[in-house]
Amino acid sequence: MYSKNITSSEPTLILVLIDQSGSMGSHWGNSGISKCELAANAVNHTLYDLTLNACMKDGELIDRVHVGVFGYGQGGVSWRLPGAEASGWQTASSWCTGFASTARVPVSHDGHRAIEQEIPIWLEPVAANGTPMAPAFQKAHQVVKAHAVAYPNSHPPIVINITDGWPTDTGVPITN
């Protein structure tokens, strides 16, 4: 079984790729909530949980988790966290405090109503144009490789791709 601690001297990288194509503007089932809103809420919740559970110790911010968030859709692939870094990731001291605002967002449902919580908002919902997934994966490869070179003994990077469907840049016909 593999085991590797995440430490300040050997921080891990969590890289999120998020589909921000036009189809992400449609509703998830009969929820009345768009897929881009649900995806943004999931990323914001994850970043908030990481801040509280992985980057705080005795009320102090510690640099154990580096984060990168890239959206792909309108305009290709772009950095989605405030205060972009040339490396493609931000250290905890930068991303944990770099949120743009706070908002009440749904965190669960009790069967009758949505239960909301106020959390920091790093990522806003976006939905426009096609799904250039190949360049997003190329960007992820560059960022992961650079982090692995900078922190060769760290926990392996984690890459999360949030999408609702097919890439539009592969040249392969889409069939359902």
Q: What is the mean pLDDT of the chain?
A: 86
User: Per residue in 140-156, pLDDT tens?
Assistant: 999 999 999 999 999 99
pLDDT at 144: 94
pLDDT at 83: 65
User: Per residue in 25-71, pLDDT tens?
Assistant: 999 888 788 999 999 999 999 999 999 999 998 989 999 999 999 99
Tell me the whole-structure pTM to 2 decimals: 0.86
User: Per residue in 149-176, pLDDT tens?
Assistant: 999 999 999 999 999 977 777 665 555 4
Long-range contacts, 46-51 (Cβ 8 Å, 24+): 46/16, 47/95, 47/99, 47/120, 47/122, 47/123, 48/119, 48/120, 50/14, 51/92, 51/96, 51/120
Query: Averaged over 107-130, what is the pLDDT?
Result: 84
- How large a percentage of the chain has pLDDT more than 70? 93
Confidence of residue 20 (pLDDT cuts 50, 70, 90): very high
pLDDT at 1: 80
pLDDT at 173: 53
Query: Averaged over 76-100, what is the pLDDT?
Result: 81
- How large a percentage of the chain has pLDDT more than 90? 48
Query: Averaged over 16-28, what is the pLDDT?
Result: 92
CA distances from 172 to 30, 66, 77, 138, 169 (A): 30, 34, 20, 18, 8
Q: Amino acid identity, residue 55?
A: C
